[in-house]
Structure 1
């Protein structure tokens, strides 16, 4: 991690801990290429250093880290293993979002924060097969109806990251008899919930993003924690954990390629291949893209943390995700060109890194939405 991005002793202390774990994560990373895999040890390691509760407000016993802090830490975790970073990023990010946008009943939120301090994990379950990404406005087919003393949920959610070890699901559902969409807190222990193992992606297999199936799941009335589309403007800076993850993976690929270029000397040349002009050009291009993407991401994060109305930065937040994800794809492509055909070996991490970062194209917001958003903003600003 370039020191230019580390600004506080607190950041440096946590990064020192994460750097020690990153080496272990890299050693375990090949194991996560198997169907049904999950980085149990990695997540436990992060719990052990208190990482999973860092974004909780100080009044509830957390550290209330900033968005900038969060991205620094997520990028470092992803350098060790992308599946671990993306998985834990959803949990820590959602807790950061809920801290920034207090909308739950305070007693319930305090209870959940207390459980998170003890190691509980949660994730949002919003995507469905027929609606696609929730960012495109599809209405959930998952339904909730109000009983005498409970809410009853039925439906199926896809991409339930960390499905094997979650303690709570945050489920979006259409409320029967109305046009409203609610978000419900569903304990994993609730009768009628089950995980259907559908995750067969070639990228980020270790996230265990299986389907959540709910059949007549009853939860307390107070577990309706939010009504969507209620006119409130929420802050969504926490979603930058997605580009931070992919930049971390590209950093790992860049490191691998540099070590290779410095060590590999075929018998057709007298020096290691890093001395060759074409390899130097590829290294220089990797460095430039990584610097551009990281400076952009951290400058927007700084602006977000200092802003009184951070929701007004949505176009810039989207642009960071677009820039970082596409830069990560390009950087790893160049790393593979440096290493050559052996980068496609099953034993070589580069082919996995390349597959992992391509998954970023399908994380929100999608590229077309970002470009349309920027275009509209540009037109609106024309005087």
Structure 2
């Protein structure tokens, strides 16, 4: 039976199309994933397929020729895509999530956003935002960037280094955060590849080896005044937008739970078909294997249910988004840690062969560990949940 028809989280015809497209792409990517993982090379051919399939315009507004996917639909697309290749999915996830954020916030000048969306639809343009730096760590911790912007005739000159710059081998434009000394604040700038922009190929990691997350170097890079995009909200944007309050970051847990789903599929298929000559039937009939499969199902169903229910609530109740940050973080934490557990169990089912690089499980095992280092971090989520619980208790006692 078709997996789309049996997936309870595919609810209608539009979602069936989104899921089917991701499934088709995932099948292509799966055949290339091992090579790019081994080489640490960027999968340009995967992004050619993403462009030709229309995937890159997933979250672009309808008025500009896109599909204007909801958060739920983006999660669905990303989860199923990740079954083929986690690196490609996490990398393109930054693009589709950035477009979603820009669509909601309306923080760019309208014409700049319209022009960029047209490039996404007609040329397959992509974007990501680069904020991480060697000395500041994760930008979610509030560190001040060493990348700086200096006022220049008609614009700004940017100098600095950004790390974890996923997608950089294929991007022609991106946004960058930089400190503005004269304003004592962090600004955000729309930067195009050109003079002063270079890449240092530093990405050589345990997992997610094909995201192209090299260092980006900026040396006196000129940005026109109109393309400083952090100030537009109060100056010349439509003013109708609102923060997504972190909703678009659900592309991260969607990716990791998708990888885990692929590991689950592989292990169960293996267990159902592997028949050692010492047994009368397949190993799936053994009690300890059955126990592991049941644990995998429990982890996967729990994580997916939380992930999709949070995305659905975020879509349906926009006024509640400001209060949903703990739930959004919890969905990521549960999905990431469940993914680790699921892949570990899958490897225990398959046994020693699971460590072979000729099989996909060892790559999946390494890839899901990267989720621990994507925002929000586990400790921040637990802190948010605790603080909200204490605040709620205090407010209740005062009534």
TM-score range, shorter chain: over 0.9
Does 2:311 correspond to 1:311? no
The 2-side partners of 1:311 and 1:159 are apart by 28
- Kept after mapping to 1: 8 A contact 2:109/2:232: no
Change (3 A) 1:70 1:233: closer
Equivalent residues in 2 for 1:200-349 (5 A)?
A: 200-227=204-231, 233-309=243-319, 310-349=321-360
For structure 1, list consecutive stretches of 5 or more residues without a partner in the other structure: none
- Residue 108 (structure 1) aligns with: 112
Query: Following superposition, which runs of at least 4 residues in structure 1 exceed 4 angstroms of deviation?
Result: 227-230
Offset of residue 76 of structure 1: 0.7
Query: For residues 347-366 of structure 1, what are the structure 2 equivalents within 5 Å?
Result: 347-366=358-377
TM-score between both structures, scaled by the size of structure 2: 0.93
1:121-132 pair list within 5 angstroms: 121-132=126-137
Give, in whole Å, the separation in 1 of the partners of 2:308 and 2:244.
21
What is the number of residues matched between the two proteins? Answer: 381
Q: Is the 8 A contact 1:32 1:38 kept in 2?
A: yes
Contact 2:132 2:162 in 1 (8 A): yes
Counting only pairs closer than 5 Å after superposition, residues 30-69 of structure 1 correspond to structure 2 as 30-69=34-73
Aligned partners of 1:289 and 1:331 also within 8 Å: yes
Report the Cα distance in structure 2 between the residues aligned to 1:311 and 1:237, rounded to whole angstroms.
Answer: 10
Compare 32-41 and 348-357 and name the one that shifted more: 32-41
> Which region of structure 1 is more displaced relative to structure 2, 273-282 or 168-177?
168-177
User: Corresponding residue for 1:120?
Assistant: 125
Worse-matched range after superposition: 88-97 or 258-267: 258-267
Where 2:135 maps in the other structure, the secondary structure is coil
Q: 1:179 aligns with which of 181, 184, 188?
A: 184
- How far is the alpha carbon of 1:319 from its aligned partner? 0.4
Distance in 2, matches of 1:371 and 1:19, equals: 34
Aligned match of 2:239: none
Q: Distance in 1 between matches of 2:75 and 2:160?
A: 33
User: Following the alignment from structure 2 to structure 1, what is the Cα–Cα distance between the partners of residues 182 and 306?
Assistant: 45
Whether the 8 Å contact between 1:78 and 1:246 is mirrored in structure 2 is yes
Q: Deviations over 1:152-191 (max 9, x none)?
A: 0000000110111012111011112122111101012x21
Separation of aligned partners in 1, 2:9 and 2:35: 31
Asked if the contact 1:180/1:228 (under 8 Å) is kept, the reply is no
For 1:18 and 1:320, locate their aligned partners in 2 and report how far apart those are by CA, in whole Å: 22
The normalised TM-score by structure 1 is 0.97
5 Å matches for 1:140-219?
A: 140-188=145-193, 190-219=194-223
1:127 touches 1:158 (CA, 8 Å); kept in 2?
yes
> 2:158, 2:181 → 1: CA distance?
10
1:39 to partner: Cα distance = 1.5
- CA-atom RMSD in angstroms: 1.5
For residues 148 and 335 of structure 1, the distance between their equivalents in structure 2, rounded to whole angstroms, comes to 59
Deviation at 1:261, TM superposition (A): 0.4
For the Cα contact (< 8 Å) 1:180–1:227, is it kept in 2? Answer: no
Q: Distance in 2 between matches of 1:35 and 1:306?
A: 43
Tell me, yes or no, if the aligned pair for 2:107 and 2:232 is still in contact at 8 Å.
no
* Cα distance change of structure 1 residues 283 and 228 upon mapping to structure 2, 3 Å threshold: farther
Pairwise CA distance, 1:7: 1.2
> Cα gap change, 1:271/1:312 in structure 2, threshold over 3 Å: closer, same or farther?
same
Q: How many Å separate the matches in 1 of 2:116 and 2:282?
A: 55
Aligned-residue offset at 1:14? 2.3
